[in-house]
Amino acid sequence: MNTQNNDSVYVIAEAGVNHNGDRERAFALVDIAAEAGADAVKFQTFDARKLASVSAPKASYQKQTTDQAESQLDMLKKLELPREWHHDLMAHAGKLGIDFLSTAFDSESLDFLANLQIPLFKIPSGELTNGPLLWRFARTGRPLVLSTGMATLSEVEQGLAIIAHAKEHEQEPANMDEVWRYWSCAEARQHLVGSVTLLHCTSQYPTPLEEVNLRAMDTLKHAFGLPVGYSDHTEGLLVPVAAVARGATVIEKHFTTDRSLPGPDHKASLEPLELKEMVARIRGIEMILGDGKKSPLPSEWDTRQAARQQVIAARAISNGQPFARDDLSTARCGSGLPATLLWEKVGRPAGRAYQPGEIIE
pLDDT score at 78: 77
Helix (H), strand (E) counts: the chain: 14, 10
Contact 156, 148 (CB under 8 A): yes
Per-residue pLDDT of the chain (361 residues; tens, 9 = 90+): 444 456 799 999 999 999 999 999 999 999 999 999 999 999 999 887 777 666 677 567 666 666 666 677 777 787 889 999 999 999 999 999 999 999 999 999 999 999 999 999 999 999 999 999 999 999 999 999 999 999 999 999 999 999 999 999 999 999 999 999 999 998 999 999 999 999 999 999 899 999 999 999 999 999 999 999 999 999 999 999 999 999 999 999 999 999 999 888 898 899 999 999 999 999 999 999 999 999 999 999 999 999 999 999 999 999 999 999 999 999 999 999 999 999 999 999 999 999 999 999 9
Q: From the CB of residue 27, how many other CB atoms can be counted at a distance below 10 Å? A: 16
CA distance 9 to 4: 10
Using alpha carbons only, what angle is made at residue 110 by residues 105 and 111, rounded to the nearest 5 degrees? 150
List pLDDT tens digits, range 45-82.
988 777 766 667 756 766 666 666 667 777 778 788 99
CA distance 246 to 243: 5
CA distance 128 to 152: 11
Domains and CATH numbers, the chain: 10-289 (3.20.20.70), 298-345 (no CATH)
Angle between helices 176-183 and 153-168 (to 10 degrees): 90
pLDDT score at 3: 47
pLDDT score at 59: 66
Beta bridge partners of 329: 312
CA distance 275 to 42: 14
| DSSP track, 16-72 | ETTTTT-HHHHHHHHHHHHHHT-SEEEEEE--HHHH--TTPPPPHHHHHHS-TTS-H
The pTM for the full model equals 0.87
pLDDT score at 1: 47
